[in-house]
Amino acid sequence: MASTVKTTYHHGDLRAALIAAAMEMLERGQEFSIRAIARETGVSPTAPYRHFPDRDALVSALAAQGLRDLEANLTADRPLPDSVEGLADLGAAYVGFALRRPALFRLMFGDECDRESEERVRAAAAVHELLATAITRVFPDSDPVDVALGGWGLVHGMACLYLDRKLTGPSVDVVLAQVRASFLAVVDARSSTQRG
């Protein structure tokens, strides 16, 4: 009598399939665990442990993927900014990403970056490098770290305020217009004080 129990399962790229399953569960608002993603992908409960020794490693892999997705979103269909308006658009794209993928955004920034995860560290460094390059292009005489921290603080704070419904808008387009306007207002106010 033939056994009906599946003893092996072959994936072309099990690690990618596990991350995709965890990402789908996360974005559907479901709790995910190593065992849950094993069930979701149809593999044995122990198979994911070859790629993720624990849930923290899986979270770091999801955060790294989220950072890569964010970088791709920030560079999609737009050149690196060479004006303050371009930086404002970059900030709006950042907030737009947060609004479209809130669960992932919270996971990416909700805990300290796992410095043991080279993948997560590299993905975060790529986003930081992108922002530093953009800042240097627009403000070549300013400290790119200080300007990047200030700009990031502004747009990240606005993303969190909208996600937490402390700020609201009738549509995403209106929210993103407000992000752009706020960014430009802060830069303009700073420029005005330097001129005065």
Could you give all domains of the chain from N- to C-terminal order, each with its CATH number?
A: 10-53 (1.10.10), 55-195 (1.10.357.10)
pLDDT at 194: 63
**pTM (two decimals):** 0.87
> What is the distance between the terminal CA atoms of the chain, rounded to a whole angstrom?
89
Phi, psi of 103 (to 5 degrees): -65, -40
Cα distances (Å, whole numbers) of residue 34 to 64, 71, 89, 122, 196: 17, 27, 38, 24, 59
The total number of residues shown for the chain amounts to 196
Name the token pair of 68: 């890569």
| Encoded amino acid at 130, one letter | L
DSSP assignment, residue 46? T
Render pLDDT for 108-166 as a digit per residue (tens, 0 to 9).
998 777 788 899 999 999 999 999 899 999 999 988 888 888 999 999 999 999 999 99
Check residue 72 and give its pLDDT.
Answer: 96
Place of tokens 């403000």: 139
